[in-house]
Amino acid sequence: MGRRDPGDRLSSLDTPSMIVDLDIMEANIARMISLLAPTGVDIRPHLKTTKSPVLAAKLIQAGCKGGCVAKVSEAEVMVDSGIDDIFITCEIVGAPKVARLIELFKRAPRLRIVVDSVPCASAINAALEAAPIPGNPQLQTLIDVNVGQNRTGVAPGEPTLVLARSISALTHLKLIGVHGYEGHLQHVHSRDERKNHCRQAMTVLSQTADLLRANHFDIKTVTTGGTGTAEFCATSRGITEVQPGSFIFMDVDYRNAVGTYFSHSLTILSTVISKPEPRRVVIDAGLKSLTTDSGYSEPKGLPGISYVDNGDEHGSLSWANEGDCGLEVGDRIEMIPSHIDPTVNLHDFYCAHRKGVIEEIWPVATRGKVQ
């Protein structure tokens, strides 16, 4: 398998390998905590980035409160690893998935879910009715509100109130809050523009929470935010919780938007396998190692050299200028992913190192958990 034991040096790794610089990762965590701690909001990091209960535990130890996941199958892994304060941020639809949710809820009573429609909410309620859990615990439910991303979510204001009233008739669900993810704002490059649009989205969300409270709903949680907006969300009126994820590793796309307040801690170690011409080499990392949905990855520390994929297993590094690129067959390159979450999803484990010596191996435990 190529050696990958604590104490080994990175040079002993086969490639491509996903590696994490622990010094940089720990600094990123400390920066997010110190940035947000003064605001008093909870940090419930989205674990869709790391896909690892080990890292979820490190984040909780640093001061975060539980975690978010996208899917029931991810929540199962987290709960079975002892991370049981979990918020599932995608709507749960379909009899097989609802059945899994109920089984999980039996052993994870702190679970939180979202709904954005009556069919979605009532199917879950009906399943709890049909197979009651001893003590009849209520499942903590948040309404997914569309704050401008136009993905899922009910419209803010009156439509959310109408849905809240429907949920209040479902005896197995307990409405505890609203969730509104402004995903469309995470990568707005201008900080001022990002901040202003975020403030508007947060006003929509908190006013909707206020409308529900004015109608006697006990809205405790108003949750939102990502790496690109967490600091603005956390300083907006009425927000109780933020969900950043990518800050722990960062990527090219977020760096282009957010800047270098957080640093790249994760790279894909790769090898030059061919040098077809002086200006260009081919590395062993293609679509199966680095995603392209948000642009191309970048080689670390090689200014003037750019990457494109050449299919599943190949990528080209090309030198923009005349002459030789200076890279040779056998050279090792660290690639900075363009989009961190789906890149992590391609790999089976992390090799976490400090100054080139491997300290820990972490499985990507929720990799591929799409259900």
Size of the site for its own copies (CB under 8 A): 68
User: Torsion over CA of 225, 256, 353 and 327, rounded to 10 degrees?
Assistant: 160
CB of 98 to its own copies, least distance (A): 10
Please select the residue that binds its own copies; options are 126, 162, 169, 329, rule is CB under 8 A: 329
Closest to its own copies by CB, 8 or 85: 8
Q: Which of 254, 185, 167, 257 is nearest to 224 (CA)?
A: 185
* 309 binding its own copies? (CB under 8 A): yes
* 285 binding its own copies? (CB under 8 A): yes
Strands 139-144, 112-115: pairing is: parallel
Provide the 8-state DSSP code for 132: P
Give the range of 20-28, 93-101, 209-217, 259-267 binding its own copies by CB under 8 A.
93-101
Q: Retrieve residue 70's tokens.
A: 């996208």
* H or E segment to which residue 162 belongs: helix 158-168
Closest to its own copies by CB, 36 or 230: 230
Strand partners, 205: none
Q: Using DSSP, state whether 181 is helix, strand or coil.
A: coil
Give the range of 32-40, 128-136, 144-152, 213-221 binding its own copies by CB under 8 A.
144-152
CB atoms within 10 A of CB 164: 21
Please select the residue that binds its own copies; options are 5, 192, 312, 322, rule is CB under 8 A: 312
Taking the C-alpha atoms of residue 6 and residue 349, their distance in angstroms, rounded to an integer, is: 13
Annotate each residue in 105-134 with x if it binds its own copies (CB under 8 A) or - if it does not, as one string: -----------xx-xx--x-----------
Beta strands, E only, 155-245: 173-179, 221-224, 241-242
Task: Give me the residues that bind its own copies (CB under 8 A), please.
Answer: 1-3, 12-17, 48, 70-71, 73, 90-94, 96-97, 100, 116-117, 119-120, 123, 146, 150-153, 183, 271-276, 282, 284-285, 287-289, 291-293, 309-314, 316, 328-330, 332, 341-342, 345-348, 367-368, 370-371
